[in-house]
Amino acid sequence: MKFSLSFRQEKTFSTVLFLTIPLLLFTVFFLYPIGYTLYLSFHEWNGISPTMDPVGFKNYFDIVKSPHFRTALMNNGKWFIFYLLLPPGLGLSLALLINKGVKGGSIFETIFFLPNTMTLIAVACIWRWLYTPGYGLFNEVLKGIGLPGWTQNWLGNPQIATYSVMIAVLWAEVGVFFIVYLAGLSNVPQALIDAAKIDGASSLKSFRYIIWPMLAPATVIVIAFSAIGAIKIFDLIYTLTRGGPAYFTSVLALFMYEVSFNRFQMGRGAAVGVILFLLAALIIGPYLIYSMRKVEDIRQ
């Protein structure tokens, strides 16, 4: 009896001890800054002056009126749609192809995942070179196959620049979507598909009615992953176009960085930070609740 009591006490003590450092860091680097950003968003501050002027919702009104913000928000919307469709679509297609029991699947896996190991800055270097107007690969190939009229200033034309960046992101990031779907597919029992085939189900039908429903958990994660990708997108745009031409390829993360660290309008920058946080909470909140329920299930 004495043993079990002291064991429980030790357990409580240890739990507290182990969680102290992680929770302390979490408080200092997550909770406090989020609160401070919210506070700052209602003030005007240049980052240096000892005083901050409270301005109520002025920063938010100013932002909403700014055309740069509206373009950036629209672009985040485009990124959201892109992220929901293309990386998951291509990732799933590649996973389905490999899952058919091909030889050398491991080599294909390596090839499709390789860009995902690179820093996005290096990815941007490579793609800037491919997109170079005069003699980059894309324009050279178009000229080579007799379509010189199709050559473009891929990153300089505001009509297409965002889509050009999307292709680079697709190349760089599809690997992780591919891996997640591949893992999901490995959970689908082959016997089930074989049985459906014997019953005369086409590949398409067995995908629609057997594989796709069984991939639902993977798809939920992919959607969450996509959504946050669309909100966080920064590195590649910053390096490829710096939001340009003008601000046509800008996104909220870039707008925030520019306002805060180039123009030193900390209050405004903070307001953009709050808007980003709210967008993330709105989209990710339901997913978190869903995944928490799953966690509970596992432990039962």
By C-alpha distance, which of 173, 87, 86 is closest to 127? 173
Q: How far is CA 278 from CA 80, 107, 149, 161, in A?
A: 15, 41, 44, 27
Residue whose CB is less far from other proteins, 17 or 85: 17
Distance CA(1)–CA(4), nearest Å, equals 5
Q: Identify which of residues 159 and 295 has a Cβ nearer to other proteins in the complex.
A: 295
CB of 34 to other proteins, least distance (A): 6
Nearer to other proteins, 171 or 248 (CB): 171
Q: Minimum Å distance from CB 94 to other proteins? A: 6
Closer Cβ to other proteins, 159 or 244, answer by number: 244
User: In the bound complex, what is the minimum distance in angstroms from residue 225's beta carbon to other proteins?
Assistant: 6
Instruction: Report residue 104 as tokens.
Output: 């050398």
Amino acid at 201: A
Instruction: Output phi, psi for 43, to 5 deg.
Output: -130, 165
Please confirm whether the linkage preceding 245 is cis (ω < 30° from 0): yes
Cα distance between residue 94 and residue 207, in whole Å: 14
Q: Shortest distance, CB of residue 236 to other proteins, whole angstroms?
A: 10
Q: Residue 212's closest CA among 181, 257, 244, 172?
A: 181
Entry field: residues in the chain: 300
Q: Which is nearer to other proteins, 155 or 159 (CB)?
A: 155
Name the residue nearer to other proteins (CB basis): 119 or 190. Answer: 119
Q: How far is the CB of 56 from other proteins (least distance, A)?
A: 19
Q: How far apart are CA 229 and CA 249, in angstroms?
A: 16
Quote the least distance from Cβ 290 to other proteins, whole Å. Answer: 12
